[in-house]
Amino acid sequence: MSENVKDRVIQIIAEQAVLEPADVSMDQSLSDLGVDSMGLVEAIFAIEESFDITVPFNANEPEKSDFDISSVASVVAAVEQFVAEKSA
Amino acid sequence: MRRVAITGAGTINPLGHSVQATQQAMRDGVCGIGELDIRDVERLSIRLGGQVKGYDPDSRFNRQQLALFDRFTQFTLVAAEEAIAQSGLDFDGGLAAESGVVLGTSGGGLNTQDENYRAVYEEGKNRVHPFIVPKLMNNAAASHVSMRFNLKGPSFTVATACASSNHAMGQAFWLIRGGAAKVIVTGGSESMLCFGGVKAWEGLRVMSKDACRPFSANRNGMVQGEGAGVFVFEDYDHAKARSANILAEVVGFSMTSDAADIVMPSQDGAARAISGALKDAGINAEQVGYINAHGTGTAANDKTECAAVSNVFGHHANEVLISSTKSMHGHLIGGTGAVELLACLMALKDGVIAPTIGYQEPDPECALDVVPNEAREASVAYVLSNAFAFGGLNAVLALKKA
């Protein structure tokens, strides 16, 4: 499951960055990848639809969100947690 | 060029069902924002809004009228009736052909669309009421005002999202200034607080769940409102000749396009609109005592707007008063500039500056005098009203004390 979550999240981010999933590395930030604020909300929407979860995120105060967007790895970790909480 | 007077004002909005009630609420710093009471609200993650409360459509309109009047049209007619009554004008004779209606809205009959999509998609109905199209169209409100009051001159609807009513009032100003009309009934209306309307806004992730706190460091987004503001713009000499009560004079207007981003605001586009309005009015920044801000309470707008004002006003940016009444009534989208013009009229006529309520923490990026939390007395000769829309379309009006 976990590997699937990671692959799917990377695929979603890669799509917003107009890159191949293989070109996305875990330590990159979304802005390194060229994902702007609109790309970010589109990625969150795709994540919510893919995993049937709700991601708490307000673009006005991203730092206050439980959804850590500082790197690809942190996004994957957050989504894994949301998915685990949902199935718990 | 003709001069342009405002000789009537009317409104219905979350702060009140009349100009007097609204301006009293603005003086008192009342918050008209609260829990949304709409169908399927439990399926929304944003449940906060500035709804018009205590309004009973059946007490204002009959069944045949309500079959044709979406809520945004109802609000428009309620506000127009108050404004035209105050102006003392009637349009029975030759004045009719020289008088028109120019109104702003963004969503038009969005409640009508929402209800009827629900009927055919969710409830599986294969038939809708015959008048859905004339009820939902964006120009329905303007057309019904023209029919109700016999206004036969230039009439149309302007849709530029959050700047719609400022663009509409700017067109009204130009039509009269250029001699194409004697009177234009103008302003704007919006009613997007329905399930589909709020759901669409949720997606952008710019909405606050607790309050609209413009310019406050802890602001966390916009809150949507509904309602209408309608004004009678009249040829100044025409108004003087009939000894009309002039509420204020419209002296300048400017509109610009950012040509940059579909949602992110631009300091340059805003600054060009502000300085353009000053230039059009033939005044300098030092003469402006109050700015009614666009002030949406989002991270992006408020700092961009403050930077634009600082850029245009220079040292005077430290003196000028600037407030966002969206903190009290929410963001009325296509009707917002019209309701906010009431704060401008109050500043010019009564010398009272409406506050920015909900202000809790100073933000160094918004370091202007935002009239926090309490109204203030100040004698002002000129005011500006800012509106900066999604899509980068900006419209700024300049008004002068009568």
How confident is the model over B1-27, as pLDDT tens digits?
A: 999 999 999 999 999 999 999 999 999
pLDDT band at B29 (very low <50, low <70, confident <90, very high): very high
Query: Contact, B372 vs B355, CB < 8 A?
Result: yes
C-alpha B369/C-alpha B291 separation (Å) is 10
pLDDT at A2: 64
Which residues on neighbouring strands pair with residue B101, listed in sequence order?
B155, B185
pLDDT band at B193 (very low <50, low <70, confident <90, very high): very high
What average pLDDT does range B107-116 have in this prediction? 98
Which residues, 6+ apart, have CB-to-CB distance to A73 below 8 Å?
Answer: A26, A27
Asked if residue B319 has pLDDT above 80, the reply is: yes
**Which CATH number is B4-241's, of 3.40.47.10, 3.30.565.10, 3.40.50.10470, 3.65.10.10?**
3.40.47.10
pLDDT at B302: 97
C-alpha B76/C-alpha B12 separation (Å) is 8
Partner B contacted by A66 (CB < 8 A): no
Q: Give the closest of A37, A54, A58 to B220, CB-based.
A: A58
Find chain A residues with C-beta within 8 A of B208's C-beta: 58, 60
- Second-level CATH architecture of B252-400: 3-Layer(aba) Sandwich (3.40)
- What residue has token string 């692959």? A7
| Residue among B17, B144, B329, B331 flagged as catalytic | B331
pLDDT at B235: 98
Q: Give the closest of B205, B263, B300 to A58, CB-based.
A: B205
C-alpha B259/C-alpha B256 separation (Å) is 9
Are A58 and B263 within 8 A, CB to CB? no
Q: Which residue has better confidence, B223 or A58? A: B223
C-alpha B14/C-alpha B329 separation (Å) is 5
pLDDT at A1: 52
Catalytic site residue B144? no
CB pairs under 8 A between A and B: 34
Asked if residue A87 has pLDDT above 90, the reply is: no
Asked if residue A6 has pLDDT above 60, the reply is: yes
Intervals of CATH 3.40.47.10 along chain B: 4-241, 252-400
Asked if residue A65 has pLDDT above 80, the reply is: no
Length of chain A, in residues: 88
Q: What domain range is A44 assigned to?
A: 2-80
Find chain A residues with C-beta within 8 A of B262's C-beta: 38
pLDDT at B275: 98
Are A57 and B298 within 8 A, CB to CB? no
Chain mean pLDDT for chain B: 97
The pLDDT tens digits of the residues spanning B144-153 come to 999 999 999 9
pLDDT band at B387 (very low <50, low <70, confident <90, very high): very high
Catalytic site residue B129? no
Using alpha carbons only, give the angle B253, B255, B258 rounded to the nearest 5 degrees: 155
Find chain B residues with C-beta within 8 A of A38's C-beta: 262-263
> What CATH number has the domain bearing residue A33?
1.10.1200.10
Partner B contacted by A41 (CB < 8 A): yes
ipTM: 0.77
Which residues, 6+ apart, have CB-to-CB distance to B300 below 8 Å?
Answer: A60, B264, B265
What average pLDDT does range B329-336 have in this prediction? 98
Catalytic site residue B331? yes
Report the number of distinct structural domains present in chain A.
1
Q: Give the closest of B45, B220, B262 to A61, CB-based.
A: B220
Are B208 and A37 within 8 A, CB to CB? no
pLDDT at B139: 98
